[in-house]
Structure 1
Amino acid sequence: MPPEPLTPDRILEATEDVLRRFGPAKATVVDVARALGVSHGSVYRHFPSKAALREAVTERWLDQSHAALSQIARAAGPTPQRLRDWLAALFAAKRAKAGGDPELFATYMVLAGESSEVVDRHIDTVVGQLAQIIEEGVGKGELSLPADTEPAVTARAVWDATCRFHDPAYATDWGDESIHPAFDAVCALVLRGLGG
């Protein structure tokens, strides 16, 4: 049986395994290559540097939540419910990442700190989804904004107001049972503020 072709996805999967085993401080491109059974030069043909590889694995990790959130943003139905569903899906995804694989989550926190442009693009994408929901809600008369307020500005305010439920700095709070009523209260406040 011929060997499986070396693809960026295979390299990123192997990188996650190596990061999980060795942590971000000790993991090397040579470790990734060894896990794949190839030379480190083969890895460098896909990712020109260790920094590029680490940035790509961080971006992949952050992008995993985009698809589900995008589906909610584009779904039909009452806008206030879609907005709440979107916030709940974001919170659930972040909690699952933090609780499902704590070692890898800690590693990604280090990598995200190194890849501020990747994190900024991620935030721009998800805030853009929020803006889409808000703009549609205003267009349908289900949400309202103060005069001269853009949906993008409001979306960023909603992002900031809900940071306790998606910013990894608060991950230690996410396992506490009191987080659920707090999330419900913040969602209710946001929706009331938007007239939803």
Structure 2
Amino acid sequence: MRECLIIGKPNTGKSLFFVNFARYLGVTHFRLGPEKPPLAAVRAAEELVTPTPHHTRRLLRVILSTPSRNGQITLLTDSTGLTDHALAAIEIRKAMVDTLRAFRRAAIILHLVDVTAAAGSPTAPGTVDRELAELARRKAGYALLANKMDLPGAREGLKSLGRLGLPGPVIPVSALEGSGFPEVRHFLLRG
């Protein structure tokens, strides 16, 4: 089994992408913790997606029903958002360490960035994104997902993304509306 890690800054749409992309690939229920009952996709999204940064504080995994070209099953993993600065909350720092450990072992990295974020805002592509992209470039399976393409300003943000010099294929997506999901699926199938 190979792991596909969704990574990026807080509030870039990782958890919404996790739920909606898995749903696109046929997953109908999600277990958000060992003691929790399975939830339908809509309820899982309601529990996971909030405007509060670092709502996701543990790795969440789901097995995808779509195998890769070589028949391997993929474990899709949602992660805690990484930041350019250290945070005081121990629980969040531990969750970030878990995310970085998952990053090291994952065969595939789906790196989400918010292309609508204003420069200087906490969700705008920045240092941590460049560092993640540089490390991930060593992996065969790396794609930069330019998220929130359904929002105003996304096209301009996508153009400015090129100026950051982030390596790898760029796939424009909307975690909310599902645009770009066929391209991401194709990327996973190639791996």
Which of the five TM-score ranges fits, normalised by the shorter chain? under 0.3
* Structure number having the greater strand percentage: 2
Higher RCO (C-alpha under 8 Å, 6+ residues apart): 2
* Structure number having the greater helix percentage: 1
Please tell me whether Structure 1 or Structure 2 has the larger radius of gyration of its CA atoms.
1
Question: What is the TM-score when the length of structure 2 is the normalising length?
Answer: 0.27
Question: What is the TM-score when the length of structure 1 is the normalising length?
Answer: 0.27
